[in-house]
Amino acid sequence: MTQVQTPIRIGIIPEDRQKIAAELSHLLADTYTLYLKSHNFHWNVTGPMFMSLHNLFEEQYTELAEAVDAIAERIRILGEKAPGTFREFLALTSLNTDDGTDLSSNQMVESLMQGHEQVVRTAKKVLSALEGANDEGTASLVGTRIETHEKAAWMLRSLLG
């Protein structure tokens, strides 16, 4: 038996909802990829800054885990399916996924800084998709993501001197 879907009446036309959800899917993939990278580095960082970086990376991956959920839920609010597999994220992400576990602590910091900056650029593409769509909910979410990633990139950049 086919289930009839109740129409979505939130003041955003279906074509705009689909376009926005597609851009949010890229943001979700970048955010999840950065989450994995941050968690990997949290586990594998070594050196004189171990404790500081271990704690910083944990703060960042914890925040990213919450962001992943918020972005995926926004995609669902718009009536689309959120990507959720490694294969989908790998196809959608614009982040470098080649970082291994043998990086120096400075290389880890640099990689995460670049990752946060890339997520800002991806988020700004979502903003472009919002033009004229009457989607304040996504605009609010994306604005918060941009601020958060800009601050994270600044903090990491400051560690590099």
Q: Supply the pLDDT for residue 3.
A: 66
Q: Supply the pLDDT for residue 5.
A: 78
* CA separation for the pair 120, 134 (Å, rounded): 22
Each residue's pLDDT tens digit, 69-115: 999 999 999 999 999 999 999 999 999 998 777 899 999 999 999 99
Question: Which residues are within 8 A (CB) of 100 and not within 5 positions of it... i.e. 6 or more apart?
Answer: none
User: Rounded to two decimals, what is the model's pTM?
Assistant: 0.95
Q: State phi, psi for 115 to the nearest 5 degrees.
A: -65, -45
Each residue's pLDDT tens digit, 17-38: 999 999 999 999 999 999 999 9
User: Over 90: is that where the pLDDT of 1 sits?
Assistant: no
Contact 92, 83 (CB under 8 A): yes
Each residue's pLDDT tens digit, 105-137: 999 999 999 999 999 999 999 999 999 999 999
CA distance readout (Å), 135 to 27, 39, 127, 146, 149:
16, 32, 10, 17, 21
Confidence of residue 53 (pLDDT cuts 50, 70, 90): very high
* CA separation for the pair 49, 59 (Å, rounded): 15
* CA separation for the pair 41, 32 (Å, rounded): 14
What are the residue ranges spanned by the domains of the chain?
A: 14-93+100-160
Dihedral sign of CA atoms 108, 109, 114, 120 in order: positive
* CA separation for the pair 103, 45 (Å, rounded): 8
Class of domain 14-93+100-160: mainly alpha
Q: Which two tokens stand for residue 18?
A: 């689909």
Q: Which two tokens stand for residue 150?
A: 């800009």
* CA separation for the pair 159, 161 (Å, rounded): 6
